[in-house]
A and B are shown apart, each in its own frame.
Chain A
Amino acid sequence: GENVEQHPSTLSVQEGDSAVIKCTYSDSASNYFPWYKQELGKRPQLIIDIRSNVGEKKDQRIAVTLNKTAKHFSLHITETQPEDSAVYFCAARGIMDSNYQLIWGAGTKLIIKP
Chain B
Amino acid sequence: DGGITQSPKYLFRKEGQNVTLSCEQNLNHDAMYWYRQDPGQGLRLIYYSQIVNDFQKGDIAEGYSVSREKKESFPLTVTSAQKNPTAFYLCASSDRGSPSNYGYTFGSGTRLTVV
Bound Cα distance from A105 to B43, whole angstroms: 8
B1: min CB distance to chain A, Å:
15
Q: A106-B42, A107-B42 are in contact. Are A43 and B109 (CB under 8 A)?
A: yes
The answer to whether A101 touches B33 (Cβ under 8 A) is: yes
Q: A105 to chain B: which residues have CB within 8 Å?
A: 42
Q: A44-B43, A89-B43, A106-B42 are in contact. Are A101 and B48 (CB under 8 A)?
A: yes
The answer to whether B96 touches A100 (Cβ under 8 A) is: yes
B31 interfacial by beta-carbon distance below 8 Å:
yes
Proximity bits, B84-100, A CB within 8 Å = 1, else 0: 00001010001010000
Bound Cα distance from A100 to B88, whole angstroms: 24
B103 interfacial by beta-carbon distance below 8 Å:
yes
Q: B56 to chain A: which residues have CB within 8 Å?
A: 97, 99
A106: min CB distance to chain B, Å:
5
Give residues 52-68 of A contacting B (CB, 8 Å).
none
Give residues 15-46 of A contacting B (CB, 8 Å).
32, 34, 41-46
Q: A109 to chain B: which residues have CB within 8 Å?
A: 40
Place the interface of chain B in its size category: 20 to 34
The answer to whether A99 touches B106 (Cβ under 8 A) is: no
Q: A99-B56, A100-B96, A105-B42 are in contact. Are A34 and B103 (CB under 8 A)?
A: yes
Q: A97 to chain B: which residues have CB within 8 Å?
A: 56
Proximity bits, A74-110, B CB within 8 Å = 1, else 0: 0000000000000001000100010111101111010
Q: A99-B56, A101-B33 are in contact. Are A43 and B42 (CB under 8 A)?
A: no
Bound Cα distance from A34 to B102, whole angstroms: 9
The answer to whether B90 touches A42 (Cβ under 8 A) is: no
Bound Cα distance from A107 to B39, whole angstroms: 12
Q: A residues bordering B, Cβ < 8 Å?
A: 32, 34, 41-46, 49, 89, 93, 97, 99-102, 104-107, 109
